[in-house]
Structure 1
Amino acid sequence: MDSSEVWKNCIGAISNLIEEADFEIEEDGMEMKAMDPSHVALADFKLSSAAFTEYEVDKPTKLGVDLTEMDKIFSRANKNDESTLEYTEEDNRLKLEFIGASTRRFSLPLLELEEEELPEPDLNFTATAKVTAGTIREGLKDAALVGDNVRFELTKGKFLMKIESDTGSAEMELSEEDEGLKDLNVDEPTKAMYNIGYLEDMFKAARSKDIVEINHGEDLPIQIIFKMADGEGILKFLLAPRVETE
Structure 2
Amino acid sequence: MKLELSDANFPTFKNAISLMKTVNEELTLNFDDEGIRVRGMDPSHVAMIDIRLKPGLFDRFDKTEDMITVNLAEFYRFLDRVEKGEQVKIIYDKKEAKLAILTERGGTKRRFALPTLEPLDDEVPEPKIFWKSEGRILTQSIDRAIKDSDLVAEHVKIMFTNDSLVFNAVGDVGSARNEWEKDSDELLELKSEEDSTATFTLHYLKDMFAQLKNLTDVVTLHLANDMPLRIESDENENIEIDLYLAPCIGV
TM-score normalised by length of structure 2: 0.88
Establish whether residue 124 from structure 1 lines up as the match of residue 104 from structure 2: no
- AA of the residue aligned to 1:75: D
Distance change (3 Å), C-alpha of 1:157 and 1:98: farther
Establish whether residue 221 from structure 1 lines up as the match of residue 240 from structure 2: no
Give the match's secondary structure for 1:8. Answer: helix
State the shift of 1:20 in Å. Answer: 0.4
Distance 1:41 1:156 in 2: 27
Please list the CA deviations of residues 161-182 of structure 1 after superposition, one character each: whole Å capped at 9, or x if unmatched. Answer: 0011222111001123322212
Equivalent in 67, 71, 83 of residue 72 of structure 2? 67
Distance 1:231 1:80 in 2: 23
The percent of aligned pairs where both chains have the same amino acid is: 26
Partner of 2:43: 37
Question: Which segments of 5 or more consecutive residues in structure 1 lack a partner in the other structure?
Answer: none
State the shift of 1:82 in Å. Answer: 3.9
Partner of 1:236: 242
Which of 119-128 and 147-156 deviates more?
119-128
Distance 2:242 2:56 in 1: 19
Equivalent in 171, 182, 187 of residue 181 of structure 1? 187
Distance change (3 Å), C-alpha of 1:198 and 1:177: same
Partner of 1:92: 97
Establish whether residue 210 from structure 1 lines up as the match of residue 223 from structure 2: no
Distance 1:57 1:116 in 2: 23
Distance 1:35 1:80 in 2: 34
Distance 1:126 1:103 in 2: 53
- AA of the residue aligned to 1:128: E
Instruction: Give the conservation status (yes or no) of the 8 Å contact 1:5–1:79.
Output: no
Question: Which segments of 5 or more consecutive residues in structure 2 lack a partner in the other structure?
Answer: none
State the shift of 1:122 in Å. Answer: 1.3
State the shift of 1:48 in Å. Answer: 2.2
Equivalent in 121, 132, 138 of residue 115 of structure 1? 121
Q: Quote the RMSD (CA, aligned, Å).
A: 2.1
Please list the CA deviations of residues 192-230 of structure 1 after superposition, one character each: whole Å capped at 9, or x if unmatched. Answer: 0101100011112323671112111111100112247x4
Distance change (3 Å), C-alpha of 1:104 and 1:184: farther
Equivalent in 14, 19, 25 of residue 20 of structure 2? 14
State the shift of 1:106 in Å. Answer: 1.6
Instruction: Give the conservation status (yes or no) of the 8 Å contact 1:5–1:80.
Output: no
Please list the CA deviations of residues 84-131 of structure 1 after superposition, one character each: whole Å capped at 9, or x if unmatched. Answer: 221132332111234457544322100003311323321011111111
TM-score normalised by length of structure 1: 0.90
